[in-house]
Amino acid sequence: MGVIPDDQAIATIHASIEAGATFIDTAEGYRTSEGVLGKALRGRRDDVFLATKLSGDHSLEHMTSAIENSLSSLGTDYIDLYQLHGPRHETPIEETMANLKKLQDSGKIQYIGISNFNGDEHREVAQYGTVQSSQPRYNMLYRYPEQAVLPACLELGIGVIPHTPLAKAILTGKYRPGHVFPSDDERASKPEFQEDVFIPSMQIVEKLIEWAGDHGHEIAQLAIAWILAQPAVTSCIVGAKTPEQAICNAAAGDWNLSEDDMAEIAVILGDFQQVLVR
């Protein structure tokens, strides 16, 4: 989402930890993220549960080099949670899981997770080993995981840690239709920000802004608290660009939405779902 200077990123990470965050997620495929995070965690590695992801192919050759690169970049000798960034059907899942188990046995990773898998793929991967977590796209505007992914995770005992809870910042109320993102910001080409998706989304967002304000909170905090109120969810992954954003996000963890609150929000959301097909 644009270039962020290392010192700003590090200050944001530190602010998040100081505000109470204990779980940090990154990935092989997130440009320089692992390296910056490694700098931020010097002397503080034990303060967090550290997760990263295998973003490339699932071959043994790539997995072997990827884990070593991640360990080096992050400045650690083990990863708490190592996740498959997405399914890669060219490598049999039983082979992938067997190789991940070898990383566990060597002490390089503690737990195995998956990301962006559908419901059936959760059941398939669970046949070949213990999967601790799943990381689907899930937010107030994109609730498709409720149909198959969340039920599968509840059935299999897999913890859910959703990504994109703020819908690429649509659920912050910061942007309006017509906003032009810089070319180095991935949102410049995202379907969420095309008018046929963005304008209907904003009609819901405006109502959520009002509801959150009436309850003494910002909409971003509502979006996070709503995710955390879901029975299948263990935690969620919220991006931040500044220390102020990190502190605001962390405060949402103290907001426990009641059943009545969730019912009122459900009325606002109705059956709206963002359609993100390109």
pLDDT tens, position by position, 93-115? 999 999 999 999 999 999 999 99
Long-range CB contacts (< 8 A, 24+ apart) of 105-110? 107/77, 107/78, 108/67, 108/71, 108/77, 108/78, 108/79, 109/67, 109/78, 109/79, 109/80, 109/81, 109/82, 110/78, 110/79, 110/80, 110/81
The parts of the chain modelled with pLDDT lower than 50 are 278
Whichever domain contains 122, its CATH number is: 3.20.20.100
pLDDT in the model for residue 2? 75
pLDDT in the model for residue 95? 98
How many domains does the structure of the chain reveal? 2
Using a pLDDT cut of 70, give the percent of the chain over it.
Answer: 99
Q: Is residue 161 part of a domain?
A: no
pLDDT tens, position by position, 179-205? 988 988 888 988 898 888 899 999 999
Pair (89, 171) in one structural domain: no
State which residues form the domain around 31. Answer: 1-135
pLDDT in the model for residue 277? 58
pTM score: 0.94
Pair (64, 188) in one structural domain: no
Pair (115, 195) in one structural domain: no
Single out the residue in 117, 135, 153 at which a domain terminates.
Answer: 135
Q: Is residue 151 part of a domain?
A: no
Pair (48, 178) in one structural domain: no
Q: Is residue 159 part of a domain?
A: no
pLDDT tens, position by position, 110-143? 999 999 999 999 999 999 999 999 999 999 999 9
Q: Is residue 156 part of a domain?
A: no
Pair (211, 131) in one structural domain: no
Q: Is residue 14 part of a domain?
A: yes
